[in-house]
Amino acid sequence: MEEPEEIALARSEDARDLLPLMVAFNEAEGILWRPESMIPALHRVLDDDDLGLILVARVGVRRPLVGYSLATFGYDLEFAGRDAFVTEIFVEPGSRRRGLGRTLLESTVQHLRERNVNAVHLMVRPDNQRALALYEAQGFKVSPRLMMTKELTPNRSS
């Protein structure tokens, strides 16, 4: 019998176990992993509830982390206040196709709702059909606008 999953708010002491999952997420998304800036940013979110939240997913007796989500807060008049952006959601390959991603997303949205968030945004690669289907099934819709980004800090390469 498969062990039940646990979704919980991440704590500072989870940072070490989160790092391999975060590296894997960034690699899968084609994002350069920059530990000198990304690790301090992780600790800052873990230590400051006003910035956002991280949920972690565990399965099994030893309870290793097998997934996580990261949402950060914003504020938008269009949504009459606080909004949030799910910037990362990841389940390790060996734990996929069991509904854990759906559970992690639902838990993230619930935690955001409890923090008076009025809208939740996320991005997905157009070729990621599984993720698109999951997000659409959870009520996410394609915005009629394109998201554009301008980095204000130099992009450091290793």
- At 1 the pLDDT is 40
Q: Is 107 exposed, middle or buried (0-12, 13-18, 19+ CB in 10 A)?
A: middle
Residue 75 CA to residue 77 CA, distance in Å, equals 7
Q: What residues in the chain have per-residue pLDDT under 50?
A: 1, 158
